[in-house]
A and B are shown apart, each in its own frame.
Chain A
Amino acid sequence: MGKWENAKWHNLAHRVTTCAISAHPSLVWGQTLDLAQKLQMANVDFKKISKERKNKMNTLMNINPWRFLDDLLDANSRTFRNMRARAAGRFPPVNVFLDDDAILIDVELPGKTSKDVELTLEPQAVVLSDKPAAQESTGGANTSEPAPAWSRRLELPFRVDADKANAKFENGILRIELPKTEKSGARRIAIAG
């Protein structure tokens, strides 16, 4: 291998490793390494590169080291959207307690009364939402600008008895009691024929 070839290899390896290293999880962003360290970390196989150089080099070079950071910092990702909704107070936080035959749901709604919240029971879920039309009638404890509309659906682990369910506001905390329905056990089905 001539001197010119050597220099080419050096240059190539450097470019490849810079690319691969950029996304290496053990590196602190902005940390600098000398070439030997980079090669060691990237585990560069020179023979493999030379074999693949002719056809695969383009794909290797197309790795975008910023892509994973983009995903991480994507302000519109699901995680961030939920965090923003919580931060904006768009839906109230809940505490859920579970027993063998009942569910207790506590909802933090300071300043709200039964007139402001709507509760709908589905066979195996409960939907909480605000009633914007009733917001004017809450009196002194209301803010000047209307709170954003929200709705929250909580899936339940078992079917609940809608007739025995009850909900009560106490000092700005709504407690919903949902007893398990007795019929939720196994059911025998007659086989015809």
Chain B
Amino acid sequence: MNTADYRVPTAAITENPDGFELKVQLPGIGKEEAELHMDGRTLTLKTNAKYQNPAGFKQVVSEFERENYAMSVDLPELADPAALTAKLENGILLVTVKKRPETQARKINIL
């Protein structure tokens, strides 16, 4: 893959009691244009949108680029790669991953 054609998107990962939430900004990327791969604990994102400037128009202001995005992130040790869901809506990719059951806080009964 030619890395020059890809940009690392703005992303944030947050933790909650049940798991982790990864939010990635992918403006202009549709659901079928994004690919997610899980290899071990590494989550890789790659997009393959084929954007073209409107034909016959001259670009007069350019404040953002329509590029493809690529990033990879190592999920935390506590995360369970099997319990992973992803949703791409309005240019925001939301990946939620649950924590492994054995690492979750639990109540211990006193005998």
In the complex, B50 has a CB within 8 A of chain A: no
Query: Which chain A residues border B62 with CB–CB below 8 Å?
Result: 95
Q: Which of these binds chain A: B27-35, B76-84, B99-107?
A: B27-35
In the complex, A123 has a CB within 8 A of chain B: no
In the complex, A119 has a CB within 8 A of chain B: no
- Count of chain B residues with Cβ under 8 Å from any Cβ of A? 25
In the complex, A146 has a CB within 8 A of chain B: no
In the complex, B59 has a CB within 8 A of chain A: yes
A172 touches B91 (CB 8 A): yes
Known A95-B63, A110-B92, A141-B92; judge A173-B58 contact (CB<8 A): no
Nearest A residue to B87 via CB reads: A140
Known A109-B27, A110-B27; judge A141-B94 contact (CB<8 A): yes
A94 contact from B56, B57, B61, Cβ within 8 A: B61
B90 touches A113 (CB 8 A): yes
Query: Which chain A residues border B59 with CB–CB below 8 Å?
Result: 95-98
B61 touches A95 (CB 8 A): yes
In the complex, A99 has a CB within 8 A of chain B: yes
Query: Which chain A residues border B94 with CB–CB below 8 Å?
Result: 140-141
Q: How far is the CB of A82 from chain B (nearest CB, A)?
A: 12
Query: Which chain A residues border B110 with CB–CB below 8 Å?
Result: none
Q: Is the interface of B mostly helix, strand, loop or mixed?
A: loop
A170 and B28 CA atoms in complex are apart in Å by 7
In the complex, A64 has a CB within 8 A of chain B: no
A137 and B56 CA atoms in complex are apart in Å by 38
Q: How far is the CB of A116 from chain B (nearest CB, A)?
A: 9
Query: Which chain A residues border B60 with CB–CB below 8 Å?
Result: 96-98
A99 and B53 CA atoms in complex are apart in Å by 12
A147 and B59 CA atoms in complex are apart in Å by 29
A169 and B23 CA atoms in complex are apart in Å by 20
B64 touches A172 (CB 8 A): no
A80 and B59 CA atoms in complex are apart in Å by 26
In the complex, B48 has a CB within 8 A of chain A: no
A99 and B55 CA atoms in complex are apart in Å by 10
Q: Which residues of B approach A to under 8 Å, CB–CB? A: 23, 25-30, 53-54, 56-64, 66, 87, 89-92, 94
29 A–B contacts from the bound complex (CB under 8 Å): A93-B63, A94-B61, A95-B59, A95-B62, A96-B59, A96-B61, A97-B53, A97-B57, A97-B59, A99-B56, A108-B28, A110-B25, A110-B26, A110-B27, A111-B25, A111-B90, A111-B92, A141-B89, A141-B90, A141-B94, A171-B27, A171-B30, A171-B90, A172-B25, A172-B26, A172-B27, A172-B91, A172-B92, A173-B28
Further 6 A-B residue pairs, CB within 8 A, beyond A93-B64, A140-B89: A95-B64, A97-B60, A98-B59, A111-B90, A172-B27, A173-B28
